[in-house]
Amino acid sequence: MSKQERTLVELAEVVGCCSPLVREPLSAEQSTELARLFKAMGDPVRLRLLSLIASHAGGEACVCELTDVFDLSGPTISHHLKVLREAGLISGERRGTWVYYRVHPEALGRLSAVLVPTEAAVGQ
């Protein structure tokens, strides 16, 4: 096992839940749980919202900064944020007029670790 692969396996163990899916099949329960997260990310607006929040300075983004990026109504953006929140990918906190969102890095880490490919693929 290469140093790179060892590190990725460590990551999988740290974040818990599942081995990389190239190593052993997911159970029905694990698949149901993880598919819910992937489904929430299976929309271009939601995925972009997630990346805008995750990469924002300070690790949180005001909803007031997110709506201007898209050519979509406020309620549509709110709906997508709600789907991400209900999936456990982000959480929001109201402070004054606005809600501020943060990603849950442990959820991203878990998904990343499940998808880690084999050493051969990483080296391609």
C-beta of residue 84 within 8 angstroms of C-beta of residue 46: yes
DSSP class of residue 27 equals P
SS3 of 22, please?
coil
Q: What is the DSSP letter of 59?
A: G
84 lies in the binding site for a copy of itself (CB under 8 A): no
If binding is defined by CB under 8 A, does position 7 make contact with a copy of itself? yes
Cα gap 60→82, rounded to integer Å: 16
Nearest distance in Å: CB 88, a copy of itself? 14
**Mask: binding to a copy of itself, 13-52, rule CB under 8 A, as x and -?**
-xx-----xxxxxx-x--xx-xxx-xxxxxxxxxxx-xxx
Q: 18: which 2 tokens?
A: 């599942």
Residues within the interface to a copy of itself (CB under 8 A): 3-4, 7-8, 10-11, 14-15, 21-26, 28, 31-32, 34-36, 38-48, 50-52, 54-55, 103, 105-106, 108-109, 111-118, 120-124
